[in-house]
Amino acid sequence: MESMTGASFPATLALVGVVVIVAGLLSGVVDRWRIPQVAVFLLLGLVLGANGLGLVDFDIGSPVLLTISTLALVLVLFSDAVAVDLGAAREHRGLTLRVLGPGTLLSAGLIAIAAWGLLGLGPAPAAVLGAALASTDPVMMRGLLRGGDVSPAARQVLGLESGLNDIVLLPVVLVAMEFMRGPGNGPPLGRMALDLFLLGPGAGVVIGFVGVALLDQVRRKLTVRRDYESLYALGVAFTAYAAAEAVHGSGFLAAFAAGLTIAAVDAELCDCFLDFGQAAAEMFLLFTFVALGSSLIWTGLSGVTWAVLAFAVVALFARSAALAVALRGQPLDVPSRRLIVWFGPRGLSSLLLVLLPVFAGLPGGERLFAPAALVVLLSVLIHGGSLALLGKGDDGHRKSVGPATPSPTPQREPGSERITLDEIRRLEASGERVRLLDVRRERAYRESDVKAKGAIRLSPEGNVARAAAELALPRNDWLVAYCA
């Protein structure tokens, strides 16, 4: 395997294979113990990179890294938008505005002021760094939200923040980048506003609507497999990005707008993506962590001074201070409030945002990466460590099919296979008692007129097995969970 700047194609392809294999083998351990996946794949990058085996090395000017980072940011923005529960956001409008207003923008402002005062950055570069480091990491956030021990209130607030804060911060980064170009080097202010806030989002909305309409027509006349619907959603994301860039708009804002459009008008496609496509997207994000971990992110540990460490402390805890103030007076229990205020991991989205001025070749852009990398590494250690501590004693939350005690009917290993309608009928014909559990996502459940007769509603956001036990369902009954 050749070692070279940016990595050769065989090396890159081998790296993809290694990431998929390691992610698959460690998925159960990571899920059970809540070991931060980010930490695992950064260490994998370190082992494979310039400071380890020397198999791959992506430097900051690598065209491969540019491509990987662009695709990853598109996936982050699209995945976040698709996962937003617009019904919950509208219902809790006040809470959403507090999280995204004072919680997100105040955090970005405090970090930017620290970057200006402690690092000596100009206003525009400081604004880029502040906005980038106010973004929370979607991969580590999902690791927390998958647990069954997170209260509904905390799950809701953290989910809204993770899904919506990038769309608040990305325009700050893009506008600040225009000021970094210097006078006369960028488009007029009016043209910049048109490109950023109209052409980009407009292209995303149009592509999103057209994509949903085409899929709906095919659904009516033919059939579409659910796993292929998730791939279709990814196609919509990349098409929206390309369409916006073609008309000189922001492809990143277009990707988010397309995802938000799908979330608003097609709950089924949205859930298909969350059930199938999100795993593929997350795998690519983990691959990006490996690429950054091969050498680039570790530059955050070089040249550390007291001023840089002081900035890192502000960057890590500005969000906590802002949210502690913003959430005052909200009807939240004390444990939920503490979790919300504490858990704000920085990760891939921060690094991707801070790389945008680097890839644009803006003066002073490369200077922003090292302090951002240091903050991300410290966040992986601090927030990721707390995530692992929260996971101790959690038995997981897999959905299972089968009775809790022996049955004369041949049994399935819990969670290993699906059960068909014919098999359910045979179980019932043989005298077995079967109870249906409706575990569709809340959005799909609310918007659907079709519900199985006699089904018991259980939310999939928590621990389904634990919830079933709390309902005191008979232990000898078969429990069959369905989500579509």
Contacts with 483 (C-beta within 8 Å, 6 or more apart), sequence order: 271, 275, 439, 440, 441, 444, 460
Using DSSP, state whether 481 is helix, strand or coil. strand
Q: Where are the domains of the chain?
A: 9-391, 421-482
Residue-level pLDDT at 12: 66
Using DSSP, state whether 456 is helix, strand or coil. strand
Give residue-wise pLDDT tens across range 171-220: 999 999 988 987 666 666 777 778 778 899 999 999 999 999 998 888 88
Residue-level pLDDT at 377: 94
Which of residues 387 and 166 earns the better pLDDT score? 166
**Identity at 33, one-letter amino acid code:** W
Q: Mean per-residue pLDDT for 322-326?
A: 90
For residue 243, pLDDT beyond 90: yes
Contacts with 380 (C-beta within 8 Å, 6 or more apart), sequence order: 36, 38, 39, 42, 140, 345, 347
With b for 16 or more beta-carbon neighbours within 10 A and e for fewer, the 140-168 pattern comes to bbbbbbbbeebbebbbbbbbbbbbbbbbb
Write the DSSP symbol of residue 136. Answer: P
For residue 473, pLDDT beyond 70: no
Phi, psi for 354 (deg, rounded to 5) = -75, -20
Pick from 346, 445, 330: nearest CA to 96: 330
Residue-level pLDDT at 459: 67
Residue-level pLDDT at 426: 78
- The Cα 337–Cα 329 span in angstroms is 11
The position carrying tokens 């598109």 is: 74
Give residue-wise pLDDT tens across range 2-32: 444 444 566 667 777 777 787 778 777 776 7
Which of 9-18, 314-323, 421-430 is predicted with the least confidence, judged by mean pLDDT? 9-18
The domain over range 9-391 is classified in CATH as 1.20.1530.20: yes
For residue 95, pLDDT beyond 60: yes
